Amino acid sequence: MVRILRRVYPALAVAPWLMTTGIASADTMARLPSDELEITDDSETNEQLRQHPWIRYVRRFRADHNFALVAGGGRGTYLIESFGALKGARIDSGSAWAKLQYSYHVPLYRGFGYILGSSLGYQYSPREALRPFQPVPMVMFPGILAGLVLNLNPLWRTVVAADVYMARANGITYYDAVDATKTEHISVTLVAYDSLVAIDYFYDLNWGLRLEAHQRAVYYYRPLQQPGDTAVYAADALFRLEDRWYGIGVVYHLL
């Protein structure tokens, strides 16, 4: 009996220390964030997690801050009602462009949501010296961007949006090959209505590739001359640009 007590007593003496150490260790163990705890309760999300480990970080929706830098080219037509001696003319024009876009993504249901943001850019149009109508490069100022976004999975998403902004064109020229004195140069601010479709593929947790397609209408609204107004306007100019352009670039999701 004495021998048994001698063997059991040390174990009983150590037991409280082991319990205390175990409790302390449990308190110091790293805890998973609450969103990762939720992930284990969703069988559909668990299946996506097995297919795409990034879903642990982006869930079903790439929310919040997104940036895109896209460049490309396209063609369009200037529809000229009046500019110099040009009346009812159609002038085809090509262009190259680059745009920087910021958008804030807000989820509505699962992978579907909406975006709000803005963009700025530059459009280059080559000038042909002997053409009667000679477009010039445009600076595209920040405007209002709004649209819808669908996250198919952590790798793919699509965006449909509209972008309304102002653009500045300095030195648009009407060239008169017969009488050089009738040649005109105007600098105007235009209003652009741009609809776009984009497809994003994320090859990295934050970085992705983007393909964009745009259809745009750019209008010059001639100011109305007010009594006593001494400002000089391009009073005889009335035209618009309708174009389509396509681009490729990179997109960055700030996590």
Give how many domains the chain has, as a whole number: 2
Query: Residues 248, 135: one domain?
Result: yes
pLDDT higher than 50, residue 231: yes
Flag whether 57 is in a domain. Answer: no
As a whole number of angstroms, the distance between CA 80 and CA 226 comes to 24
Highest mean pLDDT among 3-12, 123-132, 196-205: 196-205
In one letter, which amino acid is 245? W
Comparison of pLDDT for 118 and 59, the residue scoring more: 118
Flag whether 55 is in a domain. Answer: no
Query: Residues 84, 199: one domain?
Result: yes
Per the CB < 8 A criterion, the answer to whether 244 and 215 are in contact is yes
What integer pLDDT is reported at residue 247 of this predicted model? 97
Using one digit for the tens of pLDDT, what is the confidence trace for 17-53? 444 444 444 444 444 443 443 444 456 555 555 556 6
What integer pLDDT is reported at residue 83 of this predicted model? 82
Using one digit for the tens of pLDDT, what is the confidence trace for 62-89? 888 999 999 999 999 999 988 877 888 8
Query: Residues 67, 145: one domain?
Result: yes
Flag whether 204 is in a domain. Answer: yes
Which tokens go with 37? Answer: 């705890």
Query: Residues 75, 195: one domain?
Result: yes
Query: Residues 66, 36: one domain?
Result: no
Query: Residues 45, 96: one domain?
Result: no
What are phi and psi for residue 19, nearest 5 degrees? -65, -45
CB atoms within 10 A of CB 212: 23
In one letter, which amino acid is 107? P
Query: Residues 138, 165: one domain?
Result: yes
Query: Residues 156, 246: one domain?
Result: yes
Flag whether 18 is in a domain. Answer: yes
Flag whether 56 is in a domain. Answer: no
What are phi and psi for residue 126, nearest 5 degrees? -65, 145
What integer pLDDT is reported at residue 15 of this predicted model? 46
pLDDT higher than 60, residue 54: yes
Flag whether 229 is in a domain. Answer: yes
Query: Residues 68, 45: one domain?
Result: no
User: What pTM does this model have?
Assistant: 0.73
Per the CB < 8 A criterion, the answer to whether 74 and 214 are in contact is yes
Query: Residues 25, 74: one domain?
Result: no
Flag whether 188 is in a domain. Answer: yes
pLDDT band for position 228 (cuts 50, 70, 90): low
| Angle subtended at Cα 151 by Cα 248 and Cα 148, rounded to the nearest 5 degrees | 80
Flag whether 181 is in a domain. Answer: yes
Query: Residues 93, 66: one domain?
Result: yes
List the one residue out of 206, 207, 211, 201 whose CA is nearest residue 249. 211
Domain with residue 147: its CATH number is: 2.40.160.20
Average pLDDT, the chain: 80
As a whole number of angstroms, the distance between CA 14 and CA 99 comes to 70
What percentage of the chain reaches a pLDDT higher than 90? 45
Query: Residues 104, 197: one domain?
Result: yes
- Full residue range of the structural domain in which residue 9 is found: 2-50
Locus of tokens 């741009």 = 194
As a whole number of angstroms, the distance between CA 137 and CA 62 comes to 35
